[in-house]
């Protein structure tokens, strides 16, 4: 199993989730293909982004930029297809996509 994690501009996340849904690669109802798809809002530090995209975080005492973090779990052979789908659907936004191997996973019943 693999975990795919992407950090993307918040305005592009809906395009990516729609592409995942429409691709047929993720059956979110049956847990086949990709599953445990989550999206959260995160703050990126140490950025050189446009000043108009930055805000100052009082909690962190740093300038930050909001990003969306997409995470999903998939079978090993599906990861490259999902990475390409995320890259294509996330255009023209810049960001990072990480793929890591999951050594063990235990489903809680």
Q: How confident is the model at residue 2 (pLDDT cuts 50, 70, 90)?
A: very high
Cβ proximity of 92 and 3 under 8 Å: no
Q: Which residues pair with 64 in a beta bridge?
A: 55
Q: What is the pLDDT of residue 80?
A: 95
Q: How confident is the model at residue 49 (pLDDT cuts 50, 70, 90)?
A: low
pLDDT digits (tens, 9 = 90+) for 85-98: 999 998 877 778 99
Judging by DSSP bridges, how do beta strands 96-101 and 54-57 pair with one another?
unpaired
Q: How are beta strands 26-27 and 54-57 bridged, if at all?
A: unpaired
**Model pLDDT, residue 31:** 59
Could you give all domains of the chain from N- to C-terminal order, each with its CATH number? 2-101 (3.30.70.120)
Using the 8-state DSSP alphabet, how is residue 76 labeled?
G
Whether the pTM exceeds 0.85: the reply is: no
Question: Tell me, what's the pLDDT at 93?
Answer: 72
Q: Please state, in angstroms and rounded to a whole number, the distance separating the CA atoms of residues 48 and 25.
A: 35
Confidence class for position 41, pLDDT limits 50, 70, 90? very high
């Amino acid at each position: 199993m693999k975990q795919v994690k992407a950090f993307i501009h918040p305005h592009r996340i809906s395009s990516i989730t729609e592409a995942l849904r429409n691709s047929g690669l993720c059956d979110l109802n049956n847990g086949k293909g990709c599953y445990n798809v989550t999206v959260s809002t995160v703050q990126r530090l140490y950025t050189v982004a446009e000043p108009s995209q930055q805000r100052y975080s009082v909690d962190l005492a740093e300038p930050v930029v909001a990003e969306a973090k997409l995470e999903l779990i998939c079978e090993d052979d599906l990861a490259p297809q999902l990475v390409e789908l995320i890259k294509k659907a996330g255009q023209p936004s810049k960001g990072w996509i990480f793929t890591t191997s999951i050594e063990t996973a235990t489903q809680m019943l």
